[in-house]
């Protein structure tokens, strides 16, 4: 096989799939995606991401920029909180393209597990403040794609605990 044949294969139908797999599988980026999926608003501040992933803000910022450049995430600003000392105004969340990719790669099927893990993580007072901070709205298509029905636990236990 010549070099031009190899080059053509790289641009073939699997090149985009390989690029996305590499993008989604890097450890810090994968953690960021999982935490965003689990967050009740699917929008997180840098401090929340730092706390939940256990990675440094510098490492998170680098990976956020990579995900933003790839079109999977966007930076959302909540203008009323700008300049407010205790509340964040910058948040990171998915784009329409991002949720399409997550759907294609079956990430959205893990929403209930990601939410359960997020909710069962002990949080500091600062992170609780950030978590309850007002946020901008996600685009409707993104919010709709990330919506899932919470299980009705009363129906599951058959009402035996009443």
Q: What is the mean pLDDT of the chain?
A: 88
Residue 5 clears pLDDT 50, i.e. is over it: no
Mean pLDDT of 1-11: 47
List all residues 6 or more positions away from 75 whose beta carbon is below 8 Å from its beta carbon.
Answer: 64, 68, 90, 91, 92
pLDDT bracket for residue 41 (50, 70, 90): very high
Mean pLDDT of 105-113: 94
Residue 153 clears pLDDT 60, i.e. is over it: no
Beta strand pairing call for 43-44 and 73-77: unpaired
Mean pLDDT of 13-42: 93
Q: What is the pLDDT of residues 51-106, one digit of tens each?
A: 999 999 999 999 999 999 999 999 999 999 887 878 999 999 999 999 999 999 99
Neighbours of 110 (CB within 10 A): 15
Are 125 and 102 spatial neighbours (Cβ–Cβ below 8 Å)?
no
**Long-range interactions of 80-86: CB distance < 8 A, separation 24+:** 80/134, 81/133, 81/134, 86/129
Mean pLDDT of 136-154: 86
Dist CA 29 CA 13 (whole Å): 24
Portion of the chain with pLDDT greater than 70, in percent: 86
Task: Check residue 16 and give its pLDDT.
Answer: 85
Task: Check residue 133 and give its pLDDT.
Answer: 94
Per-residue 3-state assignment (H helix, E strand, C coil) for the chain:
CCHHHHHHHHCCCCHHHHHHHHHHHCHHHHHHHHHHHHCCCCEECHHHHHHHHCCCHHHHHHHHHHHHHCCCEEEEECHHHCCCCCCCCEEEEECHHHHHHHHHCCHHHHHHHHHHHHHCCCCCHHHHHHHCCCCCCCCHHHHHHCCCCCCCHHHHCCCCCC
Structure token digits, residue 47: 């401090």
Task: Check residue 81 and give its pLDDT.
Answer: 85
């Amino acid at each position: 096989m010549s070099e031009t044949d190899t080059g053509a294969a790289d641009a073939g139908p699997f090149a985009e799939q390989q690029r996305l797999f590499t993008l989604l599988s890097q450890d810090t980026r994968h953690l960021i995606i999982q935490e965003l999926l689990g967050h009740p608003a699917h929008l997180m501040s840098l401090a929340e991401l730092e706390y939940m992933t256990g990675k440094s803000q510098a490492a998170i910022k680098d990976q956020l920029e990579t995900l933003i450049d790839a079109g999977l995430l966007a930076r959302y600003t909540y203008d009323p909180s700008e300049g407010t000392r205790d509340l964040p105004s910058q948040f990171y969340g998915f784009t329409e393209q991002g949720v399409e990719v997550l759907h294609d790669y079956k990430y959205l099927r893990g929403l209930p597990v990601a939410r359960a893990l997020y909710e069962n993580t002990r949080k500091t007072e600062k992170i609780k403040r950030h978590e309850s901070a007002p946020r901008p709205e996600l685009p409707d298509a993104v919010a709709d794609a990330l919506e899932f029905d919470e299980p009705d636990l009363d129906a599951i236990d058959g009402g035996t605990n009443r």
